[in-house]
Amino acid sequence: MEFVNLKRQYKAYKEEIDSAISNVLENTAFINGPDVSELEKDLADFLGKGRAVICASGTDALFLPLMAKGIKEGDEVLVPSFTFIATASMVKLSGATPVFVDVDSETFNMDVSDAQKKINKNTKGIIPVSLYGQCADMDAINALAKEHGLWVMEDAAQSFGAEYKGRKSCTLTDMATTSFFPAKPLGGYGDGGAIFTSDEDLADKLISIRNHGQAGRYNHTSLGINGRMDTLQAAIVRVKLKHFPEEIRKRNEIAKRYSEKFKNLPAVISVPKVQENNLSTWAQYTLRIKNRDEFRNWLSKKDIPSAVHYPIPLNRQPVFASLNSPACRVSEELADQVVSLPIHPFLTEEEISKIIEAVCEFSV
Ligand SMILES: *Cc1c(COP(=O)(O)O)cnc(C)c1O
């Protein structure tokens, strides 16, 4: 069994994808071809609000706005301690200091009361992550930010397509970022990412920075990088976006079945909790489990893949040792307990049953 079965997805959309790819090949506009602006339009239409600027990866999507905002040494940016490295490493790379905020023990998203404690005169912004596909508590985070004059940028690498109190992820904050890494809910066949904002000036600045800070041909008005997304990838993501709502629906169906079966098992500490009025994209279906190593061995003997997102909280990562960050109790507990199961929309009925059976048979 595969953790994410992209072969099945390709087979299902093969005709459309092959035709989109061959169009790009015939057209040869490999950089900034028509599919780039078309994908930006499609993404903005999907959200129904603001502008989309696509870029080379979810990592660049985090970095470009930090450059645009002029984040620099001495500035501090709040990030959750329980997330993928890029959320914090881009802050550090921009010269500023990532300040780690612990997460809520139910949603695993940023703990707003801990965030409040970590704001000081150097704090410039907050990057809440919408982990596993469920939005962080953006109303509370936006209110906190407003009180202190900070910007908020949702790291929606896992949550594009999700809903928070009926509103769409990527429209909730000053800026938001996502990733089209192949294994994300909406992925390409290589790297890609996007930034979303309703701030026109910021969007224009991002477009310039992703292309070497160019204002006109070979006229560079700011520092920039090559942060462009290939036309080929844009064409592929455009096809997948059409099927995306149906894929989210399937992921939700599987998650519901898993949770019904798993919620009362003795080995399971907790099943994922999606807050009322939220819709998750289920980038991951993640249990807290007793005896995780044994559990994963048990699954792997039955040819069921699993993964750990994430085994080391960011405040404990060697690369950030010099920051001497204080402990983040919940994140550290989660790092020892979490395990993610396959949940992609192309799981067969047989595979779903096999996963349910294996988890139910595991005893501590
Ligand atoms: C995947 C991911 C990223 C980075 O995206 P890439 O496209 O791989 O660069 C950033 N933040 C989070 C939370 C992610 O899951």
* Proportion of the chain above pLDDT 70, given as a percent: 100
Rounded distance from Cα 58 to ligand 1 centre (Å): 5
Closest ligand 1 atom number to CA of residue 180: 7
Q: How far apart are CA 299 and CA 305, in angstroms?
A: 7
Residue 153, ligand 1, Cβ within 6 A: no
pLDDT of residue 30: 98
pLDDT of residue 363: 86
Chain position carrying tokens 């005169």: 121
pLDDT of residue 187: 98
Residue 287 has pLDDT above 90, yes or no: yes
Residue 153 has pLDDT above 80, yes or no: yes
Residue 358 has pLDDT above 90, yes or no: yes
Q: Whose CA is nearest to atom 1 of ligand 1?
A: 157
Q: How buried is 278 (Cβ within 10 angstroms: 0-12 exposed, 13-18 middle, 19+ buried)?
A: buried
Q: How buried is 123 (Cβ within 10 angstroms: 0-12 exposed, 13-18 middle, 19+ buried)?
A: buried
pLDDT of residue 224: 97
Q: How far apart are CA 167 and CA 249, in angstroms?
A: 17
pLDDT of residue 166: 95
Rounded distance from Cα 84 to ligand 1 centre (Å): 6
Task: Read off the pLDDT of residues 223-263 as tens digits, 9 standing for 90 and up.
Answer: 999 999 999 999 999 999 999 999 999 999 999 999 999 99
The answer to whether the beta carbons of residues 122 and 148 sit under 8 Å apart is: no
Average pLDDT score over residue span 284-300? 98
* Proportion of the chain above pLDDT 90, given as a percent: 99
Task: Read off the pLDDT of residues 40-72 as tens digits, 9 standing for 90 and up.
Answer: 999 999 999 999 999 999 999 999 999 999 999
Residue 163 has pLDDT above 80, yes or no: yes
pLDDT of residue 301: 97
Residue 237, ligand 1, Cβ within 6 A: no
Residue 89, ligand 1, Cβ within 6 A: no
Average pLDDT score over residue span 27-40? 98
Residue 197, ligand 1, Cβ within 6 A: no
**CB atoms closer than 10 angstroms to residue 59:** 23
- Cα 197–Cα 203–Cα 208 angle in degrees, nearest 5: 150
> Alpha carbon of 309 to those of 118, 255, 284: distances in Å?
25, 17, 9
> Alpha carbon of 313 to those of 103, 294, 321: distances in Å?
10, 21, 12
Task: Read off the pLDDT of residues 174-225 as tens digits, 9 standing for 90 and up.
Answer: 999 999 999 999 999 999 999 999 999 999 999 999 999 999 999 999 999 9
pLDDT of residue 146: 98
Integer-rounded Cα radius of gyration of the chain: 20
Closest CA to 1 of 307, 329, 331, 314: 307
Closest ligand 1 atom number to CA of residue 60: 9
Residue in 55, 177, 179 to alter for ligand 1 test, most ligand atoms within 8 A of Cβ: 179
pLDDT of residue 364: 76
CA 92 to chain centre: 19
Closest CA to 160 of 173, 178, 183: 178
Cis peptide before 310 (omega within 30 of 0): yes
Residue in 181, 210, 237, 340 to alter for ligand 1 test, most ligand atoms within 8 A of Cβ: 181
**What is this structure's pTM?**
0.98
SS (H, E, C) the chain: CCCCCHHHHHHHHHHHHHHHHHHHHHHCCCECCHHHHHHHHHHHHHHCCCEEEEECCHHHHHHHHHHHCCCCCCCEEEEECCCCCHHHHHHHHCCCEEEEECECCCCCCECHHHHHHCCCCCEEEECCECHHHCCCCHHHHHHHHHHHCCEEEEECCCCCCCEECCEECCCCCCEEEEECCCCCCCCCCCCCEEEEECCHHHHHHHHHHCECCEEECCEECCCCCECCCEHHHHHHHHHHHHHHHHHHHHHHHHHHHHHHHHCCCCCEEECCCCCCCCECCCCCEEEEECCHHHHHHHHHHCCCCCECCCCCCHHHCHHHHHHCCCCCHHHHHHHHHEEEECCCCCCCHHHHHHHHHHHHHCCC
